[in-house]
Structure 1
């Protein structure tokens, strides 16, 4: 496993008395994060958090703030965005309890922010990058995308969508 792009190690000892963190990634680190998340650019990446000891591990509540630039899904033009994504994570020892083959598990929304505690430490920085990843627009769209597509002769959104090639085959006889 390769080293995380942004590492911010928090230990049980740090969490025992509570700890406030505020860390901003430098230019080189932001470039590595941008590459991992397939961003055109990452002009700012800041993590603020309150870390505390909880039963069975470490709790971290805070926010990821970022200035990102993504590529438009339709035109590849840059789409800037400001992200302020809150998080409330719990790193616990027993998160990865094995489940039997015939057992069913039900995951509720309270389980979504549970992560495994690795020994006596967690990497809050890597968790913050994952939080940013989940906050990104999966289909960023440049404000001029429709106009540009019309100018290029694309008449509708369906014509550039993932099923455009299949739509062209509709109505053709089998070969």
Structure 2
């Protein structure tokens, strides 16, 4: 498993009737998060998270709000592009059952819930994931436009050699 930029793990047996956490990574953690998300900077990042069992099932509900001030890079001008994030989210979690080696069951509802593995939920990683979902995958500064450069008249690799050939010598070479 690759190193995660920020973690805050809770075991499901610690949840009880529910828990609330405020996650605010320190400067070093924000640098790791910025690096992992290809950001120029992450000046602030706060996640307010609530985790509670769902009353009618054996699932848990993870909901919260992520706020951040990040700096992306414009894909055209490479200039800094500040971004303020304020995202609310709600995710259903269910404990994954032990897998039988021979039998694989596929259900259509698997996209609706996230599995809980080893009885642990990484609140920090969910917060980073919500931040990542808030970022523009193709950041572009307002007014920046891509201009296609003119095609060279002759694309042949011999065009450069032709330019070096003396003008008065017609057939030698």
Fold in common (TM above 0.5):
yes
CA apart distance, 1:135? 1.2
Q: Deviations over 1:34-91 (max 9, x none)?
A: 0100011111111101111233343211011111100001111110000011111122
Specify whether residues 2 and 57 from structure 1 end up closer, same or farther in structure 2 by C-alpha distance, changes over 3 A only: same
Rounded to whole Å, the distance in 1 between the matches of 2:9 and 2:64 is: 15
Q: Is 1:74 the counterpart of 2:73 in the alignment? A: no
| TM-score, with structure 1 as normaliser | 0.72
Farther off after superposition, 50-59 or 83-92: 50-59
CA apart distance, 1:95? 8.3
Runs (5+) with no aligned partner, structure 1: none
1:105-120 to 2 correspondence within 5 Å?
106=108, 111-112=111-112, 114-120=113-119
| TM-score, with structure 2 as normaliser | 0.73
More helix by share: 1
Secondary structure of 1:61 counterpart: strand
Match of 1:13 in 2: 13
Match of 2:28 in 1: 28
Rounded to whole Å, the distance in 2 between the matches of 1:3 and 1:16 is: 29
Rounded to whole Å, the distance in 2 between the matches of 1:96 and 1:43 is: 41
1:51-66 to 2 correspondence within 5 Å?
51-54=51-54, 55-66=57-68
Q: Is the 8 Å Cα contact of residues 65 and 87 (structure 2) preserved in structure 1?
A: yes
Q: Which has the larger radius of gyration?
A: 2
Number of aligned positions between the proteins: 148
